[in-house]
Amino acid sequence: MTTRTPNPIVEIGLLVYPGAQTSAVGGLVDLFEVANRIAGEQASSQLPVLRVSQWRFNPDSQRAERSTDSHAEADSRLVAVLVPPSLAGLPSSAELQPLAGWIREQHAAGATVGAVCLGAFFLAETGLLDGRTVTTHWTHAKALAERYPRLKVEADKPIVDDGDVITTAGLMAWAELGLRLVDRLMGPSIATHTARFLMVEHSDSAQACGSNFAPILSHGDAAVLRVQHWLQAGGAVDVSLAAMAERAGLEERTFLRRFRSATGLKPTEYCQHVRVGRARELLEFTNGTVDHIAWTVGYQDPGAFRSTFKKITGLSPSDYRRRFGVSAPAQPA
């Protein structure tokens, strides 16, 4: 009799802070439970089981600690930390700082961090958003930009998926954030079926052109992870193998071997995915020409950009914009 190998367990942590929207926390718990149920119907030992834990700040230990856990008996570490929205006023630095260090620790250990609406303030306090484009609810965009001037806040974007950091704008955007993670961890089919069961919308661009780039961050190689965070934060623009190896503190040949082993990609391929992900966002939400977008994401040769974009998404940049852009381009692309 063959013993079935148990499905791997991956843990998603929900940060429940004072004033956090309880409906969003409960909704995410339900969404991941639905995804687990749908995945379980596939009878596949390859699909992971999502362990959902809730974390609250303990003033005695000055750290976030698990308060509830869907699989308390499991041994796992966080692959993602999600910060829900709030209906309360803007959080003060005194409220944010105790949790900022913990979020930073989880990110440094390989967890993707995501925030809904006002939750972006928690991520901004960590410094992880410095130099990045982020989004939040339009009523708080000005305050976020003023308090954290190193951020580029674009509240007109419903979601900004930057690989290791995801921010969403609307109070109800927790559903799309949750589905993005289901897509990454279980695949687009499970995400689509979960959205259909819950009768919520899911990004058409992600379904039609493959998921947005979801880098492997849980490999445990600290030197490679340091480079990945650096590439994601800077958009992988104008970087060289020598610069990446230096950032990792490794000799180039050693870096190449360890990077590919950890991420499954060559450094050049990884950078292409980061750049194309940023380009998809610009094509969907801005009116810049394709040539200008190519330059913005780090391509001096627009032809090379078009070729790489089509290889990764299956569409030319112009076709992608026609299908998924929120507004027509300012001039022919």
Please give the share of the chain, as a percent, with pLDDT higher than 70: 92
| Cβ atoms 215, 164 nearer than 8 A | yes
The total of structural domains in the chain comes to 2
Please report the pLDDT score of residue 204 as a whole number: 54
Separation between Cα atoms, residue 69 and residue 265, nearest integer Å: 34
pLDDT tens-digit readout, 228-237: 999 998 899 9
333 located within any domain: no
pLDDT of residue 211: 57
Judge whether 332 lies within some domain. no
Mean pLDDT, the chain, whole residue set = 87
Asked whether residue 330 is domain-assigned, the answer is no
> Residues 302, 170: one domain?
no
- Same domain for 199 and 135, yes or no, is yes
Q: State the residue range of the domain holding 316.
A: 222-324
Provide DSSP, 164-220: SEEEE-STTTHHHHHHHHHHHHH-HHHHHHHHHHHT----HHHHHS-PPP-----S-
| CA dist 253 → 24, 152, 245, 261 (Å) | 46, 36, 9, 12
What mean pLDDT do residues 203-214 have?
61
The position carrying tokens 């627009």 is 302
Contact 193, 38 (CB under 8 A): yes
Q: For the chain, report the end-to-end CA distance as a whole number of angstroms.
A: 61
To 5 degrees, how large is the angle CA 304–CA 112–CA 126?
A: 105
For residues 147 and 280, membership in a common domain is answered with no
Say yes or no to pLDDT of 248 above 70: yes
Tell me, yes or no, whether 171 lies in a domain: yes
What does the pLDDT average to over 192-198? 88
Name the helix (H) or strand (E) containing 234: helix 222-234
Helix (H) or strand (E) holding 285: helix 267-285
Which residue reads 């030319």 in tokens?
A: 316
**Does some domain include residue 238?**
yes
Can you give the CATH number for the domain in which 305 is found? Answer: 1.10.10.60
CB 192 within 8 A of CB 210: no
pLDDT tens figures, 274-323: 999 889 888 877 888 999 999 999 999 999 999 999 999 888 999 988 88
β-bridge mates for residue 82, sequence order: 14, 114
Whether 1 is covered by a domain: the verdict is no
Is the whole model's pTM more than 0.85, yes or no?
Answer: no
Residues 241 and 284 reside in one and the same domain: yes
Residue 296 lies in a domain: yes
Cα–Cα nearest to 116, from 85, 88, 71: 85
- Given 149, 181, 208, the domain boundary residue is 208
Structure tokens at 281: 């966002």
Cβ(320)–Cβ(306) below 8 Å: no
pLDDT for 154 beyond 80: yes
> In the structure, what pLDDT confidence band is assigned to residue 7 with cuts at 50, 70 and 90?
confident
